Amino acid sequence: MSVVLIVDDSTAVRAVVADYLAYKFPDWKILQAEDGVEGITLTQLEKPNLILMDADMPYMNGYEAAQKLRQAPDTKGIPIIAISDGSSNVASDLYVLSDAALPKPFSADELSETIEQVLQRYKLVA
């Protein structure tokens, strides 16, 4: 079973993305975190196959979280898709550490296409 983690401080964004992923990929386990600290904790516990990471969040932003995940031997290979509007320096920095970037707002088709491209690149099953 594939596991995807959505890390975003917006409850609405997490809910919409999670609902869409549950519809599109019904066999996936979908996890949610509201900030980078919780995202790192869930990543260490659950070892998701894919992470969707927002940039601007409280406590620990997406760039800091991605940086910590990239430095840890057991999480450095997990693909990260940056889901942020790209207007801040933090978003730009996160884009550099990510395997793909999906600027907000994005459509369901754009989300699906980006996920499938990343999964194909890493030879993970969608």
Residue 98 burial by Cβ neighbours in a 10 Å radius (0-12, 13-18, 19+): buried
Measured CA to CA, the distance from residue 110 to residue 75 in angstroms comes to: 25
Q: For the whole model, what pTM was predicted?
A: 0.94
Residue 61 lies in a domain: yes
Contact 42, 33 (CB under 8 A): yes
Give me the pLDDT at residue 126, please: 56
Beta-ladder partners of 55 = none
With pLDDT > 70 as the criterion, what percentage of the chain qualifies?
95
In a domain, 117, yes or no: no
pLDDT in tens, 67-116: 999 999 999 999 999 998 866 677 788 888 999 999 999 999 999 999 99
Q: Which helix (H) or strand (E) holds 41?
A: helix 36-46
For position 70, which CATH number holds? 3.40.50.2300
Burial 45-80 (b: 16+ CB within 10 A, else e): eeebbbbbbbbbbeebbbbbbbebbeeeeebeebbb
Question: Could you tell me if 41 and 82 are in contact, meaning their C-beta atoms sit under 8 angstroms apart?
Answer: no
Give the model confidence (pLDDT) of 38-66 as tens digits: 999 999 999 999 999 999 999 899 999 99
Q: Which domain does 55 fall in, by range?
A: 3-101
**Number of domains into which the chain is organized:** 1
Tens digit of each residue's pLDDT (9 = 90 or more) over 110-120: 999 999 999 99
State the chain's maximal CA–CA distance in angstroms: 36
Is 118 domain-assigned? no
Domain membership flag for residue 46? yes
Does 125 fall in a domain?
Answer: no
